[in-house]
Amino acid sequence: MQLRVPVRGPAALKVLAAAGAAAAPVQLVWGGPSEPPRAPLRPPWAPALELDSGTVLFSPNAICQFFFLTRGDEPTDLSNQWLEWEATELQPAATAALYARLVLGRTALEAAQGLGKLLTHIEQSLARRGAAFLAGDTPSVADVVVWGTLFPILQDENSLPSELQALRTWFQSMTLLEACRDAADSVLMPKALLEFKSYLQKQPPPCLAMQRATSNEPEEEEGSERALTEEEIAAAADAWARGAAALPKPWQPQKPVLPVEGMRNVLITSALPYVNNVPHLGNIIGCVLSADTFARYCRLRNWNTLYVCGTDEYGTATETKAVEEGLTPQEICNKYHTIHADIYRWFDISFDCFGRTTTPSQTTIAQDIFQRLLARGFLLQDTVEQLRCEGCQRFLADRFVEGTCPFCSYEEARGDQCDKCGKLINAVELKNPQCKLCRGVPTVKPTQHLFLDLPKVSLIPGGVQRGWGTPGTTAHPCVLPQPSWRSGWRPGWSSPGPQATGRPMLATSPAPGSGMGSNRAASLATSSGAHRCPSMASVTRWLQPGPSVAVPVPGALLGGPHAQPVTLSPQVFYVWFDAPIGYLSITANYTDQWERWWKNPQQVELYNFMAKDNVPFHSVIFPCSLLGADDNYTLVNHLIATEYLNYEDGKFSKSRGVGVFGDMAKDTGIPADIWRFYLLYLRPEGQDSAFSWSDLMLKNNSELLNNLGNFINRAGMFVCKFFGGTVPNMVLTPDDKRLLARVTLELRQYHQLLEKVRIREALRCILSISRHGNQYIQVNEPWKRIKGDEKDRQHAGTVTGVAVNMASLLAVMLQPYMPSVSLAIQGQLCIPPDSFVLSHDFTCTLPPGHRVGTVSPLFQKLENDRVEALRRRFGGGQPEDLAVEPQAKQTPSASQPPPAPETLMAPIDSQRLQELTQEVARQGNHVRQLKANKAEKAQIDMEVAKLLELKKQLALAEGKSPEVSVPKGKQKK
Amino acid sequence: MAARPGPGVGELVLLEKLLGLPKGSKYGVQGERKIPVLQTNSGPGLTGIMTIAAYLVKQAKKEQLLGSTAEEKAVVQQWLEYRVTQVDGSSSKEDTRIILKDLNIHLEDKVYLAGNVFTLADILMYYGLHHIMVDLTVQEKEKYLNVSRWFNHIQHYPGVRQHLSNVVFIKNRLYTNAH
C-alpha cells in the first residue's frame, strides 16, 4: 500500500492524519508520481493511494474512509453526510479561501470570514448535538476530513470568530490529536505552504459555485474562456511596455530568394493546377490559397520563404481538351496558363514564381531523375493490360475511354474515374468501353511499361524515414501520420517475399489485390476518399507524339542496363511521375541556383499543399522517385491536404454550370479579400465543407462588417475625433492589463495553430481579438468619458490607445488572410513598416504621439437581394427548376410582373412604415369586428383581402420579401 | 439546468423503487442547489444524495451494494463522490468531455465502476449521466466506447432504467479509422 503525496499540498493533510489515526501500514512517497496513476486525472497536488490490488484511490475523502474502514470504523449516516457536505460544499469554498490567503495575502481571519455560513453550519451542528465531535463522542472520519480542509486556512482556533465557540473548541481538540499534529508537522511547514502557493499562482483563480449562483452579473460568453493567471497578466503588461523596439526587424530577402544559412528556410509548393480547365473555388482553397496564406504567415515570421507553383501542362487531358477546342495542345496550354495566372493574380496569391511545366528544364530534370533511377535499377519493365483502339491504331489513355461504371453503373464514366460515384476506375474494368475519339470498341491488349520498384526504394538505408523523421512534422487530419508510414508501409515493402510473388514491382497494376503495393496504396488512399489508385507507380504511358503533350522518355531506355529493348517507341512519362517534378523545374526557371532549394534537405523545410486526392502521389510516388534518384533531394516534411469544398448542396461542375469558377469571382463585384476570407473561413480542414451564398453574406455582414471592421474603424475614429488624430497617453489599469493578457493568449493560439497550418482555426483567433476589442470599447465607453473629469478623460485616452494598438496588431495578423484589407488598415493607421512583423507578444506599436491617417470603413454590407441574384446566377440548372415548378403550382399569380427591384431595395421610410403599421392594425381590428358580428362572408373576404394587401406593403416597406413569393426577374444574364 | 429533473429527489425515488422499498418517504430540498433532504422518524433528517442513497440501501438490507470489503467500500464512496462533485457540477461541454474521458479510461478494464461487482455507484452514475448520454452523437458514443458499453449494461440491469428513455447504442462501429 503506497500513498503518494506529489506536492505537499493541503489535501495531503487529512489523508496523513487518517492514516495516522488508523495506524495503517502505509508506505509514504513524497514528491511527484513516478508514473501517472491509472485513475482519472486529478489535480497534481491531490494525493493518491495505490492499494496492493492495483486499485488507485484518488479522492482524499475516500482514502480517509478507507483508512478508518481498515480500523474497523464503519461509516454511519452522519459521517457519510459530513463527507458529502465536505466534498460538495466546504471544499470549493475552502479552495477559494486558501487562494485568498496564500496568493492574495489575506489574513486567516479574513479568509475564515469568506467561509461564513459553512463555519456557522459546523458550529450549529456541534452545539445542537452537544457532542464533542461531528459524528459522535469520538473522532471519526468526518472530523479528520473537515479538520484537514480547514486547518491550512485557519492554522489555529484563534483565527475563528469568537462567537463560534463550539467550533473553536472542536478545532482545538482536533489539532491536539496526535495523528493530526503529526500530519500538520510533516505537511504544513512554511516551505511546503510556499510550494503550494507557487502552484496556486499558476492556476486560474478558483471560481466559487456559490458565488456564481448568487451573483447578479449577466452570464457572458466569458464563462467559457480560460481564466487568466496573475503571472500571465504581468507578463503581458511587460511585453506591451517594451514597445515596437522589441519586435524583430522585418526580413527582406534578396531576389531571387535562396536558402540562407542559419535561418529557417521554408519551401512551399501548391499542387500544380492542370491547364485543361478553369479552377473553381474548391481548387483555389485546396491548394494555392491555403499555401499563399501560409507563405504570407511565414514571411511575417521572418522565415526565409519561397513559394512556387505553376500550371501542369502535360498529359492526356491536355490532348483531350485540344481535340475538343480544335486547337493544338500548345495553344491550349498557352491559353489556360494565362487564365490561371490572371485568376491567381486577382486572388492576390503571392507566388515567388508561377511557372509552367512545358519548359526545357522540365525535360532535363525529369530525364535526369529517370536516368538515375534506371542506372540504379529502380525501374522495372512489365506487361499490363491496356485498352487499344484498332480504329485509331493506338493504346487509349484512360481519359480517352468512356463506358459504364463497374461500381454504380453510371453510363458516362471516364476511364480513370466515375463522375457520379467518384470512385477511381481502372479503364479495363469499364463495362462497354468506347473510344472517345472514334466511338469504336477498344480491345484489351497487353503492353509493356516501366514501373518504379517501390520495395527496392524502401530499402535505401535511412531513406524512407528521412523526410518524415523530423520532429514536429505537421499533424493534420489528412496528412499521413508517421506511424502509418513506418509500420503500415515498410513491412509490406521490405519483405518482397510471399506477398509479392509473381509481380516483383509493387503498385504496378490497377487490378485489385494484384500486389501488396496497390493494396497499401489503397489503404492509404481510402482515408482521403479515393478507393484505388490505378497505375500507382507507373512511369511511362503511350501517347501520340506531340511536342507539347509530354516529356519523352529518353532513348537510353532502349539500351538501358536493366530494361529489355522496347519495341514500341513513342513512350512518354506518366503524369504522376513527371508532374511533381514541375516544382523543381519551375524553381529552376526562377533561379539557376534551384538546387540550393531542392538538393538541400539539411537547410530546407518543404511544405506540399494539395487537395486530398493528391496525397498518395506526394507522399509515396514522388518522394520515392527522388529517393531512388539518390541525389540528396529535399523531401517533403509537411504534407498539407484539404478535404473537398462542395458548392451549396452539391459539387462544383463546369459542365453543368454549377458553382463559382475562378474567372467569375471577380465578376460578382465582391472584393477578392472577401472571397479569400470566406474560403479560408470554411477551409475544409478535417472534413468536407460547403460553400453557401447565404452563409457568405452572413459571415461578411456579421464577422467582417459588424465585428472586425466595426472595431478597427471605431478604434481609429476615436483617435481622430477625440484626440485630433494623435494616439493619446495611456495609463494602464488592471482591467486594461487583463485585456492585454487576453489578446496575448489569442495571439499565441494563432501562432500555435498556424505553425501546424490550421489556417481555418487560426482565423477564429483574429475574430476573437476583435470581439474582445468591441466588448472593451463597449464596456468603457470612451465617448462618454471624454466629456468627464480629468480622470475619466485619461481613461478614455487609455482605452482608445489600447484599442488602436489592437487594431494595428489585427492588421498584421490579418495580412495572410486579407492582404488588401491589411494594407488598407496599415495605410489608415499609418502603421510603420518596421512594425509589420509577427512576434509572440502584443506590444505597443503605435505609441502616444503617433499620428494616424484618414480612417474610413473597411467593409461593405452584402445585401440579400444581391446575394440571392448571385446564387441564382451561379446555381446551375437544378435549383432553378426547383424554384420555378412549385411556384407555378402554388401561386397562379406568378405570371404577374414582378415588382420593380427598386421597390425591394428602397430605403426604409420610417414615416411610411408607421402609417402602414397603423393601417394594418386598424384593418385587422375591422376584420375581427366583422367576424365577431357575423357579417356576410363576401364582405369579410373583401376586408381580409385589403388586410393582406396592407401587410404585403408593410413587409416591402420593412425591406423583407413579401410573404407571397414573387419570382425576382432580371437576374438572368 | 432547470430543464432536467435530476440530480435530486427524482432519482432517489427511482432508487427506492429499484430497492423494493415501500413508497411514501418524505423528501424536501435545501438551498439554491436543491439538495434533497429525507425526513426520517428520528432526528433532523438526512441531507445529500450520497447520504440518503446509502441510507436507503441499508434500509432495504442490500448492503452489498455499498461494497463488501474496505477497499470496495472506499471505491464506491469515491465514485459516489465523483458523481456528486464532478458530474453534477459539470456545466460546460468541456466538463462533460473530461468526465466521459475520465470514466472511459477507468472503465477500460472493468465491468462495473467498482470492478467486478455491481454497486450503488453504478446506479447513481447511471442516473447522473443519463441526460448526457441521451444527447451524445453516434460518433461520441464510439469515442467513449467503454462508457457506452458500461452504460448499456447498466440500463439493462433489471429495474434500473424504469421510465427513463432507452439510449440506443449501435453494435457495429461506424468510425473505424478514428484515431
Which residues of chain A have a CB within 8 Å of the CB of B49? 84
- Structure confidence by residue, pLDDT tens digits, A786-821: 999 999 999 999 999 999 999 999 999 999 999 999
What per-residue confidence (pLDDT) applies to A423? 73
Residue A582, phi then psi, degrees to nearest 5: -55, -35
Q: How many residues does chain A have?
A: 973
Q: Tell me which amino acid residue A261 is.
A: E
Residue B63 is given by DSSP the state: G
| Chain A positions in Cβ-Cβ contact with residue B100 (cut-off 8 Å) | none
Residue A926 confidence (pLDDT): 79
**Residue A62: exposed, middle, or buried by beta-carbon count in 10 A (0-12, 13-18, 19+)?**
buried
Q: Tell whether B152 and B68 lie within a shared domain.
A: yes
Highest mean pLDDT among A680-689, A913-922, B74-83: B74-83
Please state which of the ranges A12-16, A283-287, A411-415, A968-972 shows the lowest mean pLDDT. A968-972
Q: How confident is the model at residue A463 (pLDDT cuts 50, 70, 90)?
A: low
Question: So what's the pLDDT on residue A468?
Answer: 42
Q: Which domain holds residue B107?
A: 64-156
Query: Which pLDDT band holds residue A444 (cuts at 50, 70, 90)?
Result: confident
Q: What is the pLDDT of residue A195?
A: 67
Nearest by CB to residue A65, choosing from B44, B74, B84, is B74
How confident is residue A230, by pLDDT bands cut at 50, 70 and 90?
confident
- Asked if A83 lies within 8 A of B105 by C-beta distance, the reply is no
Residue A740 pLDDT: 95
Residue A781, Cβ density class (10 Å: 0-12 exposed, 13-18 middle, ≥19 buried):
middle
Among candidates B47, B71, B98 on the partner chain, residue whose Cβ is nearest the Cβ of A66: B71
Q: Is residue B164 part of a domain?
A: no
Per-residue pLDDT tens digits for A131-182: 889 988 889 999 999 999 888 888 777 778 778 888 988 998 998 888 888 8
Residue A636 has pLDDT above 50, yes or no: yes
Residue A312's SS3 state is strand
Is the pLDDT confidence value at A534 over 80? no
Q: Find residues 129-158 of chain B whose CB sits inside 8 Å of chain A.
A: none
pLDDT of residue A258: 94
Q: What is the pLDDT of residues B68-113, one digit of tens each?
A: 999 999 999 999 999 998 888 877 888 889 899 989 988 988 999 9
**In a shared domain, residues B152 and B100:** yes
Give domain status of residue B29, yes or no. Answer: yes
Higher pLDDT, A436 or A797: A797
Interface residues of chain A, partner chain B, Cβ below 8 Å: 38-41, 51, 53, 55, 57-59, 61-63, 65-66, 69-70, 75, 77, 80-81, 83-85, 87-88, 91, 128, 209-210, 213-214, 223-224, 481, 527
Cβ separation A85–B48 shorter than 8 A: yes
Burial per residue of A315-345, b for 16 or more beta-carbon CB atoms within 10 angstroms, e otherwise: bbbbbbbbeeeeeebbebbbebbebbbebbe
Cβ distance A230 to A103 under 8 Å?
yes
| Structural domain includes residue B32 | yes
Q: What is d(CA A562, CA A379) in angstroms, rounded to the nearest whole number?
A: 8
| Cβ-defined contact of B73 to A85 (cutoff 8 Å) | no
Q: How far, in Å, CA of B161 to CA of B15, rounded? A: 10
**B44: domain CATH number?**
3.40.30.90
Q: Which residues of B touch A70 (CB under 8 A)?
A: 70
Q: pLDDT higher for A297 or A868?
A: A297
A58 CB-side CA count, 13 A: 16
Q: Which of B73, B75, B85 sits opposite A87 (nearest CB)?
A: B85
Chain A residues closer than 8 Å to B70 by CB = 66, 69-70
Q: Supply φ then ψ for residue A807, to 5 degrees.
A: -60, -40
Choose the weakest-confidence range: A511-515, A754-758, A786-790. A511-515
DSSP letter (8 states) at residue A862: P
Mean per-residue pLDDT, A214-227? 41
Same domain, B50 and B88: no
Kindly provide the residue ranges of all beta strands, DSSP E only, lying in A103-155, ordered along the sequence.
none
CA–CA–CA angle A443, A445, A446 (5° rounding): 165
CA distance A849 to B155: 69
Residue B30 has which C-alpha cell? 435545501
How many CB atoms lie under 10 A from the CB of residue A15? 31
- The strand ranges marked E within A498-618 are 540-542, 571-573, 604-611
B70, B75, B89: residue with CB nearest A209: B89
Regarding whether B132 and B80 lie in a shared domain, the answer is yes
Which of residues A346 and A558 earns the better pLDDT score? Answer: A346
Q: Is the pLDDT of residue A518 over 70?
A: no
Q: How far apart are CA A310 and CA A283, in angstroms?
A: 14
Pick among B34, B52, B77, B93 to test the A interface (most A CBs inside 10 A): B77
Q: How far apart are CA A482 and CA A468, in angstroms?
A: 7
The vertex-A605 CA angle with A599 and A606, nearest 5°, equals: 80
pLDDT of residue A461: 67
Tell me if B94 and A59 make a contact (CB, 8 A cut-off).
no
**Cα–Cα distance for residue pair B38/B18, rounded to 1 Å:** 17
- Mutation target for B interface from A42, A66, A70, A80: give the one with most B CBs within 10 A: A80
Per-residue confidence (pLDDT) for residue A117, from 0 to 100: 85
Write the Ramachandran bin of A849: left for phi over 0, alpha for psi from -120 to 50, otherwise beta: left
Q: How many beta-carbon contacts under 8 Å exist across A and B?
A: 90
Q: Which of B41, B61, B81 is the last residue of a domain?
A: B61
Q: At B35, is the secondary structure helix, strand, or coil?
A: strand
Q: Are both B68 and B152 inside the same structural domain?
A: yes
Using CA coordinates, name the residue in chain B closest to A69: B70
Does residue B167 form part of some domain?
A: no
Average confidence (pLDDT) over A372-377: 89
Cα gap A919→A925, rounded to integer Å:
10
Q: Which of B38, B61, B84 is the last residue of a domain?
A: B61
List the CATH number of the domain containing B142.
Answer: 1.20.1050.10
Q: State the pLDDT confidence band at A910, using cuts at 50, 70 and 90.
A: low
**CB contact (8 A) between residue A84 and residue B81:** yes
Q: Which carries the bigger pLDDT value, residue A470 or residue A229? A: A229
Q: Is the pLDDT of residue A199 over 80?
A: no
pLDDT score of A112:
76
pLDDT score for A64? 93
d(CA A520, CA A577): 18
Q: pLDDT band for position A955 (50/70/90)?
A: low
Cβ-based contacts of B95 with chain A (< 8 Å): none
Looking up cell 480547514, which residue turns up?
Answer: A150
Which element (helix H / strand E) includes B139? Answer: helix B138-143
One domain, residues B76 and B136: yes
**Is B103 inside any structural domain?**
yes
Which of A45-54, A405-414, A898-907 shows the lowest mean pLDDT across its residues?
A: A898-907
Domain assignment of residue B169, yes or no: no
Cβ within 8 Å of residue B109, ≥6 positions away? none
DSSP A260: -
Q: What is the DSSP letter of A48?
A: E
Contact A307, A348 (CB under 8 A): no
Task: Identify which of A61, A70, A527 has the shortest CB distance to residue B177.
Answer: A527
B13 vs A947, higher pLDDT? B13
Among A168, A196, A170, CA closest to A12 = A196
Q: Residue A32's pLDDT is what? A: 53
Give pLDDT, residue A956: 64
How close, in Å, is residue B91 to chain A by CA atoms? 10
How far is C-alpha A764 from the geometric centre of its chain's CA atoms? 8
- Considering chain A, what percentage of its residues have pLDDT values greater than 90? 32
Cell numbers found for residue A850:
503617433
User: Average pLDDT of chain B?
Assistant: 86
Contact A846, A829 (CB under 8 A): yes
- Using CA atoms, how far residue A564 sits from A381, A559, A628, in Å, is 7, 7, 20
Give the per-residue pLDDT at A959: 53
Measured between beta carbons, which residues in chain B are less than 8 angstroms from residue A216?
none
Q: Round the average pLDDT of chain A to a whole number and report it.
A: 77
- Structural contact between residues A289 and A675, judged by C-beta atoms closer than 8 angstroms: no
Q: What is the pLDDT, as a whole number, of residue A346? A: 94
**How far is Cα A61 from Cα A878, in angstroms, rounded to an integer?**
66
CB atoms A59 and B81 under 8 Å: yes
Q: Are residues B146 and B76 in the same domain?
A: yes
Determine whether the interchain pair B70/A66 forms a contact, defined as Cβ–Cβ distance below 8 Å. Answer: yes
> Is residue A564 pLDDT above 70, yes or no?
no
| Helices A790-814 + A759-780 axis angle, to 10 | 170
**A3-12, A606-615, A707-716, B84-93: the lowest-pLDDT one:** A3-12
pLDDT grade, residue A677 (50/70/90)?
very high
Do B47 and B71 belong to one domain?
no
Residue B113 shares a structural domain with residue B39: no
CB–CB contact A81 B46 (8 Å): yes
Q: Is the same domain home to B105 and B127?
A: yes
Is B81–A53 a contact, with Cβ atoms under 8 angstroms apart? no
**pLDDT the model gives residue B150:** 96
Question: Would you call B2 an interface residue with chain A, using a CB distance cutoff of 8 Å?
Answer: no
Nearest to A817, CA basis, from A896, A712, A708, A897: A708
Q: What pLDDT was estimated at residue A617? A: 83
Q: Which H or E element spans position A265?
A: strand A265-270
Cα–Cα dist A98/A196, whole Å: 10
CB atoms inside a 10 Å sphere around CB A746? 23
Upper half-sphere CA count for residue A569 (Cβ side, 13 Å): 2
Q: How far is A117 from chain B (nearest CA, A)?
A: 12
pTM for this entry: 0.57
Is residue B106 in some structural domain? Answer: yes
Q: Do B98 and B149 share a structural domain? A: yes
Residues B104 and B93 placed together within one structural domain of the fold: yes
Report whether pLDDT(A485) > 60. Answer: no
Strands A56-57 and A304-311: unpaired
Measured in angstroms, the CA of B68 and the nearest CA of chain A are apart by 11
A898 or A923, which is more confident: A923
> Residue A352 pLDDT > 80, yes or no?
yes
On the question of pLDDT at A511 being above 70, the answer is no
Instruction: Quote the CA–CA distance of A379 and A372 in Å, as a whole number.
Output: 10
| Preceding amide of A253 cis, omega within 30 | no
Residue keyed to cell 503518494: A4
What is d(CA B63, CA A833) in angstroms, rounded to the nearest whole number?
Answer: 76
Q: How many domains does chain B have?
A: 2
Q: Report the distance separating Cα A839 and Cα A845, nearest Å.
A: 12
For helices B70-82 and B49-59, the axis angle rounded to 10 degrees is 140
Alpha-carbon radius of gyration of chain A = 37
Q: Which residue has the higher pLDDT, B36 or A887?
A: B36
Q: How confident is the model over A777-793, as a mean pLDDT?
A: 91
Distance from CA of A14 to the nearest CA of B (A): 15
Distance in angstroms (rounded) separating the CA atoms of residues A473 and B8: 50
Q: What is the mean pLDDT of residues A726-730?
A: 95
Out of B61, B82, B102, pick the residue that ends a domain: B61
Q: What is the mean pLDDT of residues A704-726?
A: 94
- Answer yes or no: is B46 within a domain: yes
Burial A591-629 (b: 16+ CB within 10 A, else e): beebbbbbebbebbbbbbbbbbbbbbbbbbbbbbbbbbb
Q: What is the pLDDT of residue A35?
A: 45
